[in-house]
Amino acid sequence: ISNSARNEISLAQQKLAAVAAAESKSKSATATATAIANVEKPSSRTLRIHALIMGIPFIGFGIMDNAILIWAGDQIDTHLGVYLGISTLCAAAIGNIISDVAGAGLGAYIEDFCATKLKLPKINLSNAQRSLRSVRMAGQVGIAIGLTVGCVIGMFP
């Protein structure tokens, strides 16, 4: 067999493999969509509780994050700003770096505190229900609201 014939055979095999992979992916997506369509949708009350449970730890995170940011930025601006020749916004940015590093370290502690000390209610959602868009969206809205509330409270350290 010539090299050009071998190349054509190889290309044909690659095309067949690509078509087979696409068909397999399509069947998998259809099966997933069918499975999700058959999942019992949580009630509005369950979604609100889920949003609340997801958001409460982020209230603590927002308080901690903004309080450290403002305190550190103010201290840097007051004590080091003149010596370093930096602007107030630069001092705030450095305070933000400090706050982000603290958040990386304290985030798990805040989550553990909320899980063990606050005794938040547990909602029984199956893995299939947790993958529903409504459940994921409720969790994200809860996180956004919790973070916003925490950041506003943290503005007054």
pLDDT at 31: 58
The mean predicted confidence, pLDDT, of the chain is: 88
pLDDT at 136: 96
Greater pLDDT, 5 or 129: 129
The whole-number average pLDDT for the span 57-64 is: 94
pLDDT at 9: 78
Q: What is the pLDDT of residues 18-30, one digit of tens each?
A: 888 888 787 766 6
- State the first-to-last Cα distance of the chain, in angstroms, to the nearest integer: 79
Q: What is the pLDDT of residues 106-149, one digit of tens each?
A: 988 898 888 889 888 888 899 999 999 999 999 999 999 999 99
SS3 state at 87: coil
Q: CB within 8 A of 94, min separation 6: which ones?
A: 72, 73, 76, 86
The whole-number average pLDDT for the span 63-88 is: 93
Buried b (16+ CB within 10 A) or exposed e, 83-102: eeebeeeebbebbbebbeeb
Greater pLDDT, 151 or 121: 151
pLDDT at 35: 58
- What's the rounded Cα separation, in Å, for the pair 52 and 142? 6
- What's the rounded Cα separation, in Å, for the pair 71 and 37? 50
- What's the rounded Cα separation, in Å, for the pair 138 and 38? 20
Quote the radius of gyration of the chain (alpha carbons, Å).
26
Indicate the domain borders of the chain.
1-38, 43-154
pLDDT at 153: 96
Does an H or E element contain 36, and which? helix 3-37
